[in-house]
């Protein structure tokens, strides 16, 4: 595209952005009788309520307790059996789901807006009046947790990314998110954890879809009975480094590099991740990002490399994943990927920053779009106090110098690494 046309396009896009602002993503935060609430109204006839509990694996007292507590959601409460909950929700056309992240247990109900009151009352019951019964633990909860854990471990990339977190953070964010093999948490441990986690100061209720004031009034009405208490304690996140190697007989080999920080993800980290890239924006294209060029230079695409940012409320992890069937190409591509990151410690073109800022905005705002929370949007919500606008402004303020400083900080300590595959041919970090 000619330079004059590019300037004209940039100018027009800036006008559109200034005129329209950011719509449909901002939540309105409130305090309701000690309960943190945030809501946004959309034009959709369906909506969702999510209870976001600070009780993920980083807070658990023993391995697997958070996972088992998550699996107890929507089982028996003092007023309803699991069968009744399932049947009633089916009759109303609703959907009930749970998610477990390193930081949160997320309980979500999706429904026709006219049935919001029923689901607000149900979620409040789950938080305040769930029953933790021995027979249900043995017959339903434990088998479900074991099955999910087995399926999760069946994907080598899941295991490798968990190992990368372990090496980068050790404890807390480095703890295994799902029930480990052989873990044997007791009902009393789960019950005690529920009592500590399900208190007003330790969770937030997030509404998407229905009228915000109506949702706030409904949440205040039903969640007011929840116990008061203190948030679950956690030690400050510390960063570390280390290497792990996992043999796999599968054709695909992987080499993961991790660059952790002990601060919430900055705008510079989002931009840095976008500059590195690796995932093309055009189907069937290798793309033109730094890591795409590194892959081409090193091995003519016999291996691919892609960057990803893992955000947490008080930490972040920039990962680079190199994958391919040829182990020798893994080493070459990993080496070029590290050189690509080192190249960002100085002399970054302004146009590169502008393109990366646009890409980072797309990814960041896209995480807010679904009506049901996901791990990225959940972290973003609580890291920015529910408002994306200040973070978008921070992205606009990113400069080549600030990105170069961030890259230098990441490279100031050795990366954490995980090798998966034919280990005899896969590199160590000091061999790159």
Q: Is residue 235 a part of any domain in this protein? A: no
**Cα angle at 277 between 271 and 278, to 5 degrees?**
170
Cβ-contact 95, 50 below 8 angstroms: no
128-175 pLDDT per residue, tens: 999 999 999 999 999 999 999 999 999 999 999 999 999 999 999 999
Please name the residues in contact with 305: beta carbons below 8 A apart, sequence gap of 6 or more.
Answer: 278, 291, 292, 294, 295, 320, 321, 322, 323, 333, 334, 336, 337
Residue 213 lies in a domain: yes
Tell me the whole-structure pTM to 2 decimals: 0.90
Judge if 253 and 216 occupy the same domain.
no
Q: Which domain holds residue 119?
A: 28-223
Those residues with Cβ within 8 angstroms of residue 401's Cβ, 6 or more apart along the chain or in another chain: none
Same domain, 252 and 370: yes
Q: How many domains does the chain have?
A: 2
Same domain, 266 and 367: yes
Last residue of a domain, one of 223, 253, 273: 223
Residues 177 and 277 in one domain: no
Length of the chain: 432
Picking from 162, 191, 223, the residue at the C-terminal end of a domain is: 223
Q: Is residue 102 part of a domain?
A: yes
Same domain for 211 and 274, yes or no, is: no
Whether residue 192 lies inside any domain: the answer is yes
Q: Do 270 and 309 fall into the same domain?
A: yes
Residue 247's pLDDT is 92
> Are 264 and 364 contained in the same domain?
yes
Q: Are residues 171 and 290 in the same domain?
A: no
Indicate if 258 and 299 belong to the same structural domain: yes
Q: Domain with 337 in it: what CATH number?
A: 3.30.830.10
Domain match, 176 and 260 both: no
pLDDT the model gives residue 36: 92
Per-position pLDDT tens, the chain of length 432 = 454 554 554 454 444 344 334 666 788 889 998 999 999 999 899 999 999 999 999 999 999 999 999 999 999 999 999 999 999 999 999 999 999 999 999 999 999 999 999 999 999 999 999 999 999 999 999 999 999 999 999 999 999 999 999 999 999 999 998 999 888 899 999 999 999 999 999 999 999 999 999 999 999 999 999 999 999 998 899 999 999 999 998 899 999 999 999 998 999 999 999 999 988 888 887 788 999 999 888 777 789 999 999 999 999 999 999 999 988 899 999 999 999 999 999 989 999 999 999 999 999 888 888 888 877 778 777 766 667 888 899 999 999 999 999 999 999 999 999 999 999 989 999 999
pLDDT at res. 41 = 92
Same domain, 319 and 191: no
End position of a domain, from candidates 223, 251, 268: 223
pLDDT of residue 371: 80
Residue 1: the pLDDT is 47
Asked if residue 81 and residue 123 are part of one domain, the reply reads yes
Q: What is the 3-state secondary structure (H, E, C) of 224-281?
A: CCCCCCCCCCCCCCCCCCCEEEEECCCCCEEEEEEEEECCCCCHHHHHHHHHHCCCCC
| Residue 4, in any domain of the structure | no
User: Could you give the CA distance from residue 358 to residue 394 in angstroms, rounded to a whole number?
Assistant: 12
285 within domain boundaries: yes
Could you tell me if residue 230 is inside a domain?
no
Residue 5, in any domain of the structure: no
């Amino acid at each position: 595209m000619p330079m004059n046309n590019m300037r004209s396009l940039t100018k027009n896009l800036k006008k559109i952005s200034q005129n329209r602002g950011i719509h449909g993503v901002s939540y309105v935060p409130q305090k309701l009788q000690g309960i943190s609430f945030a809501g946004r109204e959309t034009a959709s006839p369906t909506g969702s309520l999510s209870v976001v509990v600070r009780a993920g694996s980083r807070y658990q007292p023993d391995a697997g307790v958070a996972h088992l507590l998550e699996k107890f959601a929507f089982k028996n409460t003092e007023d309803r059996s699991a069968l009744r909950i399932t049947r009633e929700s089916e009759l109303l056309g609703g959907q009930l789901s749970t998610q477990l992240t390193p930081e949160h247990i997320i309980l979500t109900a999706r429904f026709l807006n006219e049935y919001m009151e029923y689901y607000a009352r149900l979620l409040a019951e789950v938080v305040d009046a769930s029953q933790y019964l021995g027979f249900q633990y043995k017959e339903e909860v434990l088998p479900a947790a074991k099955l999910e854990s087995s399926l999760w471990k069946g994907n080598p990339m899941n295991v490798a990314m968990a190992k990368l977190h372990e090496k980068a953070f050790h404890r807390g964010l480095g703890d295994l998110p799902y029930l480990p093999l052989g873990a044997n948490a007791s009902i009393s441990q789960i019950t005690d954890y529920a009592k500590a986690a399900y208190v007003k100061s330790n969770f937030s209720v997030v509404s998407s879809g229905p009228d915000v004031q109506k949702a706030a009034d409904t949440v205040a009405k039903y969640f007011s009975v929840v116990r008061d208490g203190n948030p679950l304690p956690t030690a400050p996140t510390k960063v570390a480094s280390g290497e792990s190697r996992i043999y796999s007989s599968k054709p695909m080999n992987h080499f993961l590099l991790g660059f952790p920080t002990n601060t919430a993800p900055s705008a510079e980290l989002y931009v840095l991740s976008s500059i590195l890239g690796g995932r093309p924006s055009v189907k069937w294209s290798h793309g033109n990002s730094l890591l795409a060029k590194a892959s081409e230079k090193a091995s003519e695409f016999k291996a691919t490399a892609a960057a990803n940012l893992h955000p947490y409320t008080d930490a972040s992890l920039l990962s680079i994943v190199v994958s391919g069937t040829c182990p020798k190409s893994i080493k070459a591509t990993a080496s070029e990927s590290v050189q690509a990151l080192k190249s960002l410690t100085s002399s970054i073109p302004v146009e590169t920053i502008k393109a990366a800022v646009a890409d980072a905005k797309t990814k960041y705002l896209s995480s807010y779009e679904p009506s049901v929370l996901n791990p990225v949007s959940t972290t973003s919500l609580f890291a920015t106090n529910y408002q994306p606008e200040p973070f978008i402004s921070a992205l606009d303020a990113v400069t080549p110098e600030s990105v170069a400083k961030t890259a230098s900080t990441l490279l100031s300590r050795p990366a954490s690494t995980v090798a998966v595959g034919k280990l005899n041919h896969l590199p160590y970090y000091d061999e790159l």
